[in-house]
Structure 1
């Protein structure tokens, strides 16, 4: 059996790091596109907002459990909800750009390349966050059904994911 007590926090650190790195790239590219003359398209504004929200949310749910136990942002329930919102935003960002990109008539090489880069990083962030959040939700629901209802108010690094409880559900 896999040692989820080591694998889950490691996967979490790696995925959060990669997503943050890609978000910084999207932030820079979308900020550049917003700074161009004329009104910026909604899909560029969505990319900018999504990258900013990601760069605010990920450090909060990653660092607070390390510094303060029992704080609400460290709860598994808060992390699952936050990650679901983020992957939905990244999916919307990538899908919106993928929808509009073929229809752009006046798309020069630089702008089109930047939009394709945002699209690629958006879909990569979506996949990583969705995969991790589904794994976390599955492990949390499994622990809950095994009678460990405190999983929702614990933090990912502190919870014993390998413990097999035989207790009554709801205790």
Structure 2
């Protein structure tokens, strides 16, 4: 499954890049919020969520990429670990995007962010960017986690230990050699019915010669 391994690398790298972007945007939004104290209770939660989830993603995704290159078969790269942790991440990204969308609709009237105050216009633009990158990261992480989980179940049904293997080493679509050969042997080595068994050879009867024939 080389294609799935490549898809894994692309998804993790893209999510890591988006996390860095969100971290920069959210940090700047936190700074702007301090100048807008009248909106602080509403607008501060979105940037703070962005900072938190981006830091968590960077700290977890970067080792997942590096460790898989340096050490083959590490437990941090197991399918069950990746599916579980990436599912937690995409839920957090979905929460960040959903709250950002709610806060944006509550605070800003004009969708083009055309305000007299530059700080308000900048905060409006950055809220739109935070919402967009949060939803994009949610989509790619969720899609990869779901696809990986489906392939893991398919490989497990074929007798492969996919859950405790890495994406690079796991066999998702191939049948397990042990299980497949055992199934073939069970089909070939079936017992022979007694009726079809070969009859034992009959004992030889000695020929008797009469005196007249001598």
TM tier, shorter chain? 0.7 to 0.9
2:130 is aligned with 1:126: no
Question: CA separation of 1:105/1:116 partners in 2, compared to 1, >3 Å: closer, same or farther?
Answer: closer
2:23 is aligned with 1:27: yes
TM-superposed CA distance for 1:33, in Å, is 1.2
2:147 is aligned with 1:144: no
Question: CA separation of 1:54/1:61 partners in 2, compared to 1, >3 Å: closer, same or farther?
Answer: same
Kindly indicate whether the alpha-carbon contact (under 8 Å) linking 2:53 and 2:92 is maintained by their aligned counterparts in 1. Answer: yes
- Secondary structure at the aligned position of 2:82 is classed as helix
TM-superposed CA distance for 1:69, in Å, is 3.1
The CA RMSD measured in Å over matched residues stands at 1.9
RCO (CA 8 Å, sep 6+): is it higher in 1 or 2? 1
Which stretches in structure 2 are left out of the alignment for 5+ residues?
114-119, 181-214
For residue 202 of structure 2, what is the aligned residue in structure 1? none
Distance 1:21 1:163 in 2: 34
2:1 is aligned with 1:18: no
For residue 69 of structure 2, what is the aligned residue in structure 1? 66
TM-superposed CA distance for 1:111, in Å, is 0.2
TM-superposed CA distance for 1:77, in Å, is 0.7
For residue 100 of structure 1, what is the aligned residue in structure 2? 103
Size of the alignment, in residue pairs? 163
Deviant stretches of 4+, over 4 Å: none
Provide the TM-score with structure 2 as the length reference. 0.70
Mark the structure with the bigger radius of gyration. 2
